[in-house]
């Protein structure tokens, strides 16, 4: 499975790849969503293992009755499109409804009057406390672009409603009135406490609406940096003139649904007491930075997937062969037809392309931050070496099955690997420290609700791990693709062991291969070293011969004169 969008199938003789078929659905508000048709594929590609026979194909699941909405298979109706609960619905279900009395609840005459007073009194106090928290929050939070009214509660809302006349009021209403009448000081104290809390909160922080059009990021950053957290924020020069919407588009490939979370069955997925010894096999701090170039910048091209995969290959070539070569990101954008160039793609498919075709040196096809033409490059036949990837894979065995242990093992034994995660608005503002998401309560303290933000996928290069010397917090060390002036010189640290922003879910790697371009042979490390050694000796011999010829010419000149 290639992410949640396609299938890659390898047999002994053939390899097949295709995306799942889908259809767009435009809603009334103009937003486009996509419905997967898991019983069909788009037109895909197949090739034999020798890579000399190619073709196109599409596939349909057998014995399936199809209509536009559902698939019926073996008399079982399967809905293909998941439903989504909106933020407003969640807020209504988890907040407002829980704070209201059940109006059908009756205080029966079987209860002792004192017990009834006590029960209702506790209910009022508990509900006022919850209502206070809710109104405090909503007084500060509102990013609703439709200007919908946010419901608030007053003390009178807590009294159960009745359709009876004043003379016909039931026992529960009389109890309610008696409590409010007999305890004026108590209720006044509660109302006063509510007002004081709201006033102090309003003085502390004015409201910020983090809508898609918001761009006063420094105002929000100043508040963000006052929170207790293990990282600090700042505004990178790349984002200073961007709105939240523009930053959102820059961050990665938009997602139409939540990332699939598979049930993980491996006994090493969750680190319990029995697995702590496993981590003792590795150093507390470890990274491959000395094998990497400084962080590059993808610019205004959605090339993070190609950038990170190319940088992974460069580092692994140096680790495996001691061969230093800058590789072309642009070649992967223009020629790897499985992906969509600057419109986005997947590291797994870059690796698949590199296993079937090649990677080439950067000087042969430099990066231009836009889509180009595949044939617009140097003459590849004149290159000494070209490069391929073998054994491309998802770390953990399949899509979605990665975890902290597998990542450390692959990273330590073979070099940097590509990871994909879901950056949020706060992450875009990261400057230094160990990044982690902030809690709902922390959002409220900034005077802002969570911003308008569409989930995206962003691919980066995992290069190491560590433990903070003071806080003992575990982290991953990652190279980003937003240039050397973002974050910690182009890198960031992020909380390790908790799948922060999904960074421990999708991890990919591959083994680099050097191809002798004259013989078209894949070179082992030993063969490469012998070839380089022979070339060096030949070059030395040629230089000596040149010096000898030059010396003979000088001697002949002196003799003649």
Q: Which of 217, 402, 458, 507 is catalytic?
A: 458
CA distance 504 to 497: 8
Q: Which of 236, 301, 304, 342 is catalytic?
A: 304
φ/ψ bin of 277: left (φ > 0), alpha (ψ from -120 to 50), beta (otherwise): alpha
In the structure encoding, which two tokens stand for residue 447, read together? 């005077």
Tell me the torsion sign for CA atoms 312, 315, 319, 320: positive
- Angle ∠(375,378,379) on CA atoms, nearest 5: 90
In the structure encoding, which two tokens stand for residue 351, read together? 């690796």
CA distance 409 to 419: 14
Q: Are strands 417-421 and 456-467 parallel, antiparallel or unpaired?
A: antiparallel
Cβ burial of 320 (10 Å; 0-12, 13-18, 19+) is middle
A 10 A CB-CB count for 235 gives 15
CA distance 425 to 303: 19
- Respond yes or no: is residue 458 known to be catalytic: yes
For 318, phi then psi, to 5°, come to -70, -40
CA distance 37 to 60: 10
DSSP, residue by residue, 184-215: HHHHHHHHHHHHHHHHHHHHH---B---TT--
For 273, phi then psi, to 5°, come to -60, -35
- Respond yes or no: is residue 480 known to be catalytic: yes
Expressed in angstroms, the distance from the first to the final Cα of the chain is 80
Q: Which residues contact 20 (CB under 8 A, 6 or more apart)?
A: 5, 6, 7, 36, 37, 38, 40, 41, 42
Q: Which long-range contacts (CB under 8 A, 24 or more apart) does 163-167 make?
A: none
Q: Which residues are marked as active site? A: 304, 458, 480
């Amino acid at each position: 499975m290639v992410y949640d969008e396609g299938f890659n199938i390898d047999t002994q003789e053939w390899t097949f790849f295709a995306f799942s078929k889908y259809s767009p659905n435009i809603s009334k508000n103009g937003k486009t969503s996509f419905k997967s048709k898991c019983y069909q594929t788009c037109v895909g590609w197949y090739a034999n293992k020798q890579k000399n026979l190619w073709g196109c194909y599409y596939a349909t699941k057998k014995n399936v009755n199809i209509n536009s909405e559902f698939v019926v298979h073996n008399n079982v109706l399967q809905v293909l499109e998941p439903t989504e609960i909106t933020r407003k619905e969640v807020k209504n279900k988890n907040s407002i409804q829980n704070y209201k009395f059940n109006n059908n609840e009756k205080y029966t005459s079987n209860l002792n009057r004192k017990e009834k007073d006590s029960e209702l009194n506790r209910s009022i106090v508990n509900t006022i406390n919850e209502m206070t928290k809710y109104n405090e929050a909503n007084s500060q939070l509102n990013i609703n672009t439709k200007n919908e009214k946010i419901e608030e509660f007053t003390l009178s809302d807590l009294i159960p409603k009745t359709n009876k006349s004043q003379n016909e009021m039931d026992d529960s209403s009389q109890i309610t009135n008696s409590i409010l009448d007999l305890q004026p000081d108590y209720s006044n104290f509660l109302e006063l406490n509510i007002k004081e809390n709201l006033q102090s909160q309003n003085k502390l922080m004015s409201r910020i609406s983090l809508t898609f059009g918001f761009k006063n990021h420094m105002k929000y950053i100043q508040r963000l940096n006052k929170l207790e957290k293990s990282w600090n924020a700042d505004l990178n020069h790349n984002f200073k003139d961007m709105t939240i919407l523009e930053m959102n588009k820059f961050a990665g490939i938009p997602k139409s649904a939540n990332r699939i979370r598979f049930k993980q069955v491996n006994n090493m997925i969750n680190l319990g007491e029995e697995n702590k010894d496993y981590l003792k096999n590795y150093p507390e701090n470890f990274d491959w930075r000395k094998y990497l170039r400084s962080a590059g910048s993808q610019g205004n091209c959605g090339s993070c997937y190609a950038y990170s995969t190319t940088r992974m290959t460069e580092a692994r070539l140096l680790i495996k062969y001691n061969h230093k070569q800058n590789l072309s990101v642009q070649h992967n954008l223009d020629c790897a037809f499985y992906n969509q160039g600057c419109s986005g793609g997947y590291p797994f498919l870059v690796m698949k392309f590199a296993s079937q075709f090649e990677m080439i040196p950067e000087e042969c096809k430099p990066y231009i931050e836009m889509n180009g033409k595949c044939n617009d490059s140097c003459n590849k036949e004149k290159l000494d070496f070209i490069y391929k990837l073998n054994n491309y894979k998802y770390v953990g065995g399949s899509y979605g099955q990665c975890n902290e242990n597998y990542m450390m093992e692959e990273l330590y034994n073979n070099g940097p690997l590509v990871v994909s995660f879901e950056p949020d608005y706060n992450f875009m503002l990261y400057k230094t420290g160990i990044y982690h998401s902030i809690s709902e309560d922390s959002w409220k303290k900034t005077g802002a609700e969570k911003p308008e933000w569409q989930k995206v996928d962003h691919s980066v290069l995992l290069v190491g791990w560590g433990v903070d010397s003071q806080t003992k917090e575990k982290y991953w060390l990652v190279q980003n693709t937003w240039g050397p002036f973002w974050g910690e010189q182009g890198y960031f640290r992020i909380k390790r062991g908790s799948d922060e922003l999904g960074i421990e879910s999708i991890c990919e790697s591959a083994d680099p291969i050097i191809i002798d371009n004259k013989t078209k042979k894949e070179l082992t490390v030993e063969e490469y070293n012998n070839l380089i050694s022979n070339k060096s000796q030949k070059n030395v011999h040629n230089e000596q011969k040149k010096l000898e010829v030059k010396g003979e010419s000088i001697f002949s000149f002196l003799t003649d004169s």
